[in-house]
Amino acid sequence: MARRILSAKNSQPVTYADAEPSAFASMLGGLIEANVASRPEKQKDFNALAARVGIWVTDIDEGVTLDFRRGHLVVHNGLEPKRDITIRTDADTVMNLSNLKIGLFGMPVYYDEVGRGVASKMFQRKLRIDGLLGNLATLNTVTRIFSVQ
């Protein structure tokens, strides 16, 4: 049974494309919904963002597509076509991405412990971001919405 389905009125900021959202989809959707509801600066980013972002968790073989539609997010189980950015990494790094601090000019902080850990995963190719070229601003916006810090 669908909890919140795509055909529902878009009064809710986050809806799910699948009748049975995966645990990962529910968790990311729930996290973003709570972040946006509690932080006005994240709401502003959320309202401005139009992009399709895929996240694939390599060590659990599960992923989601986050379809941001300027003030509304549709979460799909799995990777859907036409993504602007796709992040592929392990579960721990996904959690670390959501713990990145946001610094000056809304840029994610990569020089503290969590940030260095994320950067190190990138250098080791354990964190891969497809579509980064030309979408850096989108990635930063997604990181700000995603971050719990």
Partner 1 sequence: MTVKAFSDEWAHQFKDEVNKSSVYKAAAKGWKWTVGLVIEAEPDKNFPEPKGVVMDLFDGEARDIKVGTAADAQGCNFVITAPYSRWKQVATGELDATKGMLQGKLKLKGDLPTIVRYTKASQEMTECTTRVPVQWPDEF
Q: How far is the CB of 84 from partner 1 (least distance, A)?
A: 23
> CB of 92: closest distance to partner 1 in angstroms?
6
Closer CB to partner 1, 121 or 135, in the complex: 121
Shortest distance, CB of residue 82 to partner 1, whole angstroms?
Answer: 25
Q: Which is nearer to partner 1, 60 or 107 (CB)?
A: 60
Backbone φ and ψ of 78, nearest 5°? 80, 180
Supply the minimum distance, in Å, between the C-beta of residue 142 and partner 1. 15
User: What span, in angstroms and rounded, lies between the C-alpha atoms of 125 and 51?
Assistant: 24
Decide: 31 and 10 in contact? Cβ < 8 Å: no
Rounded Cα distance, 6 and 42, in Å:
23
Choice between 57 and 75, CB closer to partner 1: 57
> Which parts of this chain interact with partner 1 (CB under 8 A)?
22-24, 26-27, 30-31, 34-35, 38, 57, 59-60, 62, 91-92, 94-96, 98-99, 148-149
Task: Report the residue number, 24 or 68, with the smaller CB distance to partner 1.
Answer: 24
Spatial distance between the Cα atoms of 93 and 16, rounded to a whole number of angstroms: 24
CA distances (Å), origin 119, targets 113, 114, 136: 10, 9, 15
Q: What does the alpha-carbon distance between residue 117 and residue 123 come to, in Å, rounded to a whole number?
A: 10
